[in-house]
Structure 1
């Protein structure tokens, strides 16, 4: 159930942390201790701790395999499965709040010698194939809807493939043009590859 006290802050640069940064280490240690109490439970004849460790190994291996498709990723180090810091989001161009969440998880994992993983939640529903981009029209700030791909109606993310590779490949150029009145050289201009559809599968 959603806590009614939690509200995304409206101010520029404001952030919401729950738990608070000062409490994160304690919460993580409490969670680690709580999990360790159930390691010897039996589940269909198998020790729960062994099942959990096998699941961790599979998760880290799958994360490395996926990341290696687009990044020169180093192989998982020894102890990579001991502590996993997991976050996630739908496989879309997400907002800066998700960036922040990823940066925090990465920082925690580096600090504690753990492994940070961003899990793609692809069994959610895709409801649009466009991105709202900030722009200016008639000297007024507005948002422009820039298409990522042709949209034929809602479907589950994991069942969606790219319908128009040309439209997908040109997204970076079109988004750059839309945001140009506000940001002359946005990151997407250099990071969205002309053959992005090929890399996206």
Structure 2
């Protein structure tokens, strides 16, 4: 029964509230501009996996747009997709030849959504950075994983989700580089009242 414009305004406020609440659970938000419903909003999104340069390009550009446009900038953590294998391919140099070495950060490869994942092997998760560094050997003197992983381990101990821990560690590291963005998981957005009305409308029609 609400007017469309009222629903849009309510959805924006609920979205901003979720982003503010979520981001504040793991990083200092004093340096971030408050989300303002009267400003334009720019969104990006990615799965909560170990990131590659393409992800970082989006996030750096998102932060830049926020400054350039005086806009709200929020990265949506797409945590409803099915998570891939809990491992990455790491280069190593052995016997004068280059190889790829699969290193796991957890032992469970069940096909479940990111949001439902839980650390199955604390020892694998905590030793992941050291194993990556050992595999790389002299290829890279100081892999970024050594700076990123301690906070990921801390977050995994708090809530148990390895993927959210990785995403939160990335976001905190981006903050140390000067990026100013908010983040929120898609699962949190789906928990808002307006999204519930949207879902009921789809079911009904």
Q: Provide the rounded CA distance (Å) in 1 between the counterparts of 2:35 and 2:113.
A: 36
- Cα displacement (A) at 1:123: 1.4
2:140 is matched with 183
- How many residue pairs get aligned? The number is 157
Q: Provide the rounded CA distance (Å) in 1 between the counterparts of 2:73 and 2:114.
A: 23
Q: Provide the rounded CA distance (Å) in 2 between the counterparts of 1:60 and 1:134.
A: 40
- Cα displacement (A) at 1:104: 0.9
- Determine if the alignment matches structure 1 residue 64 to structure 2 residue 20: yes
TM alignment of 1:98-177, pairs within 5 A:
98-177=55-134
Moved more, 87-96 or 138-147: 138-147
Gaps of 5+ in 1: 1-44
Moved more, 165-174 or 136-145: 136-145
**Secondary structure of 1:46 counterpart:** coil
Q: Provide the rounded CA distance (Å) in 1 between the counterparts of 2:77 and 2:112.
A: 16
* Bigger radius of gyration among the two: 1
1:195 is matched with 154
2:52 is matched with 95
- The C-alpha deviation readout for 1:65-119, integer Å capped at 9, x for no partner, is 2222221112752625632211111111121101101111111111111121111
Q: Hey, which of these two has a bigger chunk of helix by percent?
A: 2
Q: Provide the rounded CA distance (Å) in 1 between the counterparts of 2:56 and 2:35.
A: 27
**Secondary structure of 2:139 counterpart:** coil
The answer to whether the 8 A contact 2:85-2:109 is kept is: no
Q: Provide the rounded CA distance (Å) in 1 between the counterparts of 2:132 and 2:35.
A: 42
Note the aligned Cα RMSD (angstroms): 2.1
2:41 is matched with 84
Distance of aligned partners of 1:80 and 1:100 in 2 relative to their CA distance in 1, 3 Å threshold: farther
Moved more, 184-193 or 71-80: 71-80
Gaps of 5+ in 2: 161-205
Distance of aligned partners of 1:90 and 1:171 in 2 relative to their CA distance in 1, 3 Å threshold: same
- TM-score normalised to structure 2 length: 0.68
